[in-house]
Amino acid sequence: MIRVQNLVKKFGAFTAVDDVSFEVAEGEIFAFLGPNGAGKTTTIKMLTTLLKPTSGAIELDGLNPEVKQNEARRRFGIVFQDPSLDGDLTAEENMEIHGVLYHVPHKVRRQRTEALLKQFELWDRRKDQVKKFSGGMKRRLEIARGFLHTPKILFLDEPTLGLDPQSRNQLWTHVKKVNEAEKVTVFLTTHYMDEADRVAHRVGVIDHGKLVAQGTPQQIKEQTKTETLEEAFLALTGSTIRDESAGSADHMRQFAKMWQGGKR
Amino acid sequence: MSAIYILWLRELKRYTRSRVQLLASLGQPLMYLLVLGFGLGPVFQRAGQGSYLQFVAPGVIGMTVLFSSIFSGLGLLWDRQFGFLKETLVAPVSRLQIMIGRTLGGATVAVLQGLLVTLVCVIAGFRPLHLANVPLALGFMLLIATVFAGLGVAVGSSLQDMQGFQLIMNFLVMPIFFLSGALFPLDGLPKVLGAVTMVDPLSYGIDGMRAVLIDKAHYGAMVDFEVLVAVAVLFIVIGAWRFSKIEI
């Protein structure tokens, strides 16, 4: 369903994604793990047509998202790592815009909006502007919105960030349900190794832009001779803490970026 | 089509919901209208040009439409910052539709804002000579709004964050306003200033409104109309092209 070959993304001299290749089969749940700044989100952005790769090939359901952008976009849904709601609109209106943009028929849209908002306990607040929501509520709304249409591939970029255990549980139950019932392929990233261990069929570990291991959670553990996925992860990526933003050179680049426009 | 509509509707909803912003945006036009309108009135009269309030009102209306439409285009930067832009960019809708929806929404809001200021002008004492021509003035407002909403999207797509905002304000928006003849007649200007005002699209918009509302035209309504349509098409095309190139 997803095929990535020798994918490279460079921002100036910095290589964010370095020669990454992997495949995700139809109906599979694939967890993409890595420390901060390892290149997870950049990879997702390239898979979802938000960024153009420097080199390498991507296939989504047999389509190249660079060439057939709209065709590709029809096939996936995504829950972003950072907020993407319109704070001035109500929860219901945010759902409505999403439904219209994803061509969900009116009737289905209303039914599913109600069901999802109830499931994520936002129904009572549906008429409130999103900017009045707490962080957790916004997060839940993003997730509910992501499930409004049924895509072939679902991208979840750190979906459980800032969620309480109840909502987290709801989320994974729902992910498993759509995966089993509707054969939705799921590509997720998370920092919670226990979650990855529990839901993912296969995992890939990325560090400094390079894919350092991939296989079932069991295989990864065996390969590193560790007991848990967390230990395996640390064995593979080391224990130094990563820093996403760097020194003044980066600030200069940011300034230059402003002038170069979309090119960066 | 429904995507264009829903994004257009979004701009309208945002406009009607931010009452504070709505009131705040009336401040500047009011100042120009009342302070300059009455302050420069006597001098203008003595120069044999008639009422300055009558003269400056279309300029102030044009200014309002300019600011409102260009900011709605730059609203792209806020959407980029708060993330909503991503949500629309990954949706299975062509970027052209998204851009058109946003631009039309922004233009509509700008025209509404222009009408509001027109009302204020009338309350302050502005009297259009031909009431039958008011729809024509509305047409000019719509053209101004489209031109600058297009320009706003083009500029907004080319910037990465809000840092450039002040720059745009000082080196693009304010010059467009001051060089448009909103505040002074375009006849008999020094050569350089005259030449600069000729390349400012807003001067055609305001000239058009003056032509139909108070019978004072420099270029003539037909020329104004043709230039504005041409520039609107050009800016929309550039805006759509820049928008299609956005990467996040």
- B71-127: pLDDT as tens digits: 888 888 889 888 899 999 999 999 999 999 999 999 999 999 999 999 999 999 999
B83 contact residues in A (CB cutoff 8 A): 80, 82-85
Q: Which two tokens stand for residue A54?
A: 């420097």
Instruction: Mark out the alpha helices in B35-133 (DSSP H runs).
Output: 37-39, 41-46, 52-82, 84-89, 95-124
The partner residue sitting opposite B6, judged by closest CB among A45, A100, A254, is A100
Q: String of b and e for A78-117 (b: at least 16 CB within 10 Å)?
A: bbbbebbbbbbbbbbbbbbbbbbbbebeeeebeebbeebb
- pLDDT confidence band for A126 (50 / 70 / 90): very high
Global pTM reads: 0.87
The partner residue sitting opposite B161, judged by closest CB among A102, A129, A258, is A258
Q: Are A193 and A21 in contact (CB under 8 A)?
A: no
Helix axes B52-82, B134-158, angle to 10 degrees: 30
Q: Is the CB of A88 inside 8 Å of chain B's CB atoms?
A: yes
- pLDDT confidence band for B1 (50 / 70 / 90): confident
pLDDT at B28: 87
Mark which residues 25-64 of A lie under 8 Å from B by CB: 45, 48-52
The partner residue sitting opposite A102, judged by closest CB among B18, B89, B91, is B91
- Three-state secondary structure of B134-173: HHHHHHHHHHHHHHHHHHHHHHHHHCCCHHHHHHHHHHHH
- Mutation site for B-interface testing, chosen from A97, A153, A260 by largest number of B Cβ within 10 Å: A97
Q: How far is A55 from chain B (nearest CA, A)?
A: 16
Q: Which two tokens stand for residue B122?
A: 């009338």
Residue A105: closest C-alpha in chain B:
B2
Q: How far is B127 from chain A (nearest CA, A)?
A: 37
The partner residue sitting opposite A85, judged by closest CB among B13, B14, B84, is B84
Instruction: Mark out the alpha helices in A15-75 (DSSP H runs).
Output: 40-47, 69-75
Q: Are A109 and A99 in contact (CB under 8 A)?
A: yes
| Of A223, A172, A228, nearest in space to A200 by CA | A172
Cα A177 from Cα A175, distance rounded (Å): 5
Cα B195 from Cα A153, distance rounded (Å): 57
Q: Indicate the average pLDDT of chain A.
A: 88
What are the pLDDT digits (tens) for B165-187?
A: 888 888 999 999 999 999 999 98
How many interchain CB pairs under 8 A, A with B? 94
Q: CA torsion sign, A135 to A138 to A144 to A147? A: negative
Mean pLDDT of A65-79: 89
| pLDDT higher than threshold 60 for residue A263 | no
- As for the ipTM of the complex, it is 0.86
| pLDDT higher than threshold 50 for residue A262 | no
pLDDT at B73: 85
User: Does the distance separating the beta carbons of B82 and A87 come in below 8 Å?
Assistant: yes
Mean pLDDT of B127-137: 91
Domain holding B237, by residue range, is: 2-244
Angstrom distances, CA of residue B36 to CA of B42, B52, B183, B204: 11, 8, 9, 21
Q: Which residues pair with A153 in a beta bridge?
A: A76, A185
pLDDT above 70 covers a percentage of chain B that reads: 100
How many domains does the structure of chain B reveal? 1
How do strand A2-11 and strand A14-24 relate by DSSP bridges? antiparallel
- pLDDT confidence band for A247 (50 / 70 / 90): very low
A76 contact residues in B (CB cutoff 8 A): 90
The partner residue sitting opposite B84, judged by closest CB among A45, A76, A86, is A86
Q: Which domains does chain A have, with CATH numbers?
A: 2-83+150-161+171-263 (3.40.50.300)
